[in-house]
């Protein structure tokens, strides 16, 4: 009796789990399907290489937004990667109570809502400097990327066995040289993977850009001027009543998801190939 009951529950549980798990795919397939089917009609060479210009009859393009997204990502990386590596080094190399404190703070930073980061960046940078700019948007995104870079730097550094450092010391190198010539190069690829993960996280962020990057209908690669970005385009156009703008938003969504997808794939493949090996 007992045995039959248990078998029954086992089978029932298995079926329930399988059904629920595969049904998770349903919204995903729906979302992807819609993005692709609606976005594909907007994507043509025109769309990708022209700027946003709503009164031209040829239709609008998203080139300036794509470029803007890349500009923001670059600025964010410039701010967060070097600092993140140093912070990662700090967490691994230094032995002190302070380290645990810092680690917790960085982990918590990861969970801070992006809109709060947007407010802080506005109050800290946009207002005092009197203008919206790509730099302020990049800093906001950099703040969000920072914990991810630190975490991956810390993990990669930890994977380097101590024997490597000892060998370097034995050969007469001092501490600094050991870090820069031996330890870091060994795990740099892990750090790069972590950076890519961070980038794929911030590529789609909108909230921090609302009050910093501001938007710009023109092509712009200057960090000191406002810039448009794919997520901003999607947000602004999605809530309009115009069919034309909706189509552009779907196209931009497809491009954005495509970029993130590519980053994810690269991360997965690179992650496997570039594991710290000895």
Q: Exposure of 69 by Cβ count < 10 A (0-12 exposed, 13-18 middle, 19+ buried)?
A: buried
Q: What is the largest CA-CA distance in the chain?
A: 77
* Closest C-alpha among 217, 199, 260, 194 to residue 72: 199
Judged by CB under 8 A, which of 76, 145, 214, 251 binds another protein?
Answer: 214
**Residue 98 within binding range of another protein, rule CB under 8 A:** yes
Of 214, 249, 204, 79, the C-alpha closest to 150 is 79
**Beta carbons of 69 and 203 less than 8 angstroms apart:** yes
Residue choice 37, 40, 44, 104 for contact with another protein (CB under 8 A): 104
Q: How far apart are CA 156 and CA 184, in angstroms?
A: 9
Position 119 contacts another protein (CB under 8 A): yes
Report the residue from 40, 44, 261, 269 that binds another protein according to the rule CB under 8 A: 261
Among residues 43, 63, 67, 83, which is the contact residue for another protein, using CB under 8 A?
Answer: 83
Give least dist CB 170 to another protein, A: 14
**Does 63 sit near another protein (CB under 8 A)?**
no
Distance CA 198, CA 147 (A): 9
- Cβ partners under 8 Å of residue 46, min gap 6: 58, 59, 61
Neighbours of 86 (CB within 10 A): 12
Cα pseudo-dihedral 79, 80, 83, 84, rounded to 10: -170
User: Which CB sits closer to another protein, 101 or 166?
Assistant: 101
- Please pick, from the candidates 40, 44, 166, 224, the single residue that binds another protein as defined by CB under 8 A: 224
Return the residues of window 172-211 that contact another protein according to CB under 8 A. Answer: 174-176, 179, 181-182, 185-186, 200, 203-207, 210-211
Under the criterion CB under 8 A, does residue 15 sit at the interface with another protein?
A: no
Residues within window 121-150 making contact with another protein, judged by CB under 8 A: 122-124, 126-127, 130-132, 143, 146, 150
- Which position among 1, 20, 45, 170 is part of the footprint of another protein (CB under 8 A)? 20
270 touching another protein, by CB under 8 A? no
């Amino acid at each position: 009796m007992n045995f039959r009951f248990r078998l029954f529950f086992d089978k029932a549980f298995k079926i329930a789990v399988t059904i629920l798990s595969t049904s998770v795919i349903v919204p995903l397939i729906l979302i992807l399907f819609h993005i692709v089917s609606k976005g594909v009609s907007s994507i043509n060479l025109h769309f990708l290489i022209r700027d946003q210009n709503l009164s031209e009859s040829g239709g609008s393009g998203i080139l300036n937004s794509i470029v803007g997204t890349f500009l923001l990502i670059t600025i964010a990386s410039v701010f967060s990667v070097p600092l993140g590596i140093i912070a990662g080094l700090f967490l691994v190399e230094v032995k002190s109570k302070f380290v645990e404190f810092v680690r917790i703070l960085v982990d918590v930073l990861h969970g801070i809502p992006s809109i709060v980061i947007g407010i802080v960046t506005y109050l800290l940078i946009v207002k005092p400097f009197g203008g919206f700019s790509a730099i302020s948007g990049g800093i906001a995104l950099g703040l969000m990327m920072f914990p991810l870079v630190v975490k991956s730097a810390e993990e990669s550094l930890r994977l380097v066995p101590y024997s490597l450092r000892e060998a370097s010391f034995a050969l007469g190198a001092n501490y600094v040289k050991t870090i820069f010539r031996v330890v870091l190069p060994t795990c740099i690829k892990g750090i790069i993977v972590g950076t890519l993960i961070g980038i794929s996280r911030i590529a789609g962020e909108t909230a921090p850009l609302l009050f910093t990057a501001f938007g710009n209908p023109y092509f712009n690669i200057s960090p000191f001027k406002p810039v448009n970005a794919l997520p901003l385009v999607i947000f602004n156009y999605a809530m309009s009543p115009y069919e034309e703008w909706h189509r552009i938003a779907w196209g931009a969504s497809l491009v954005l998801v495509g970029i993130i997808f590519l980053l994810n794939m690269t991360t997965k493949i690179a992650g496997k190939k570039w594991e710290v090996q000895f």
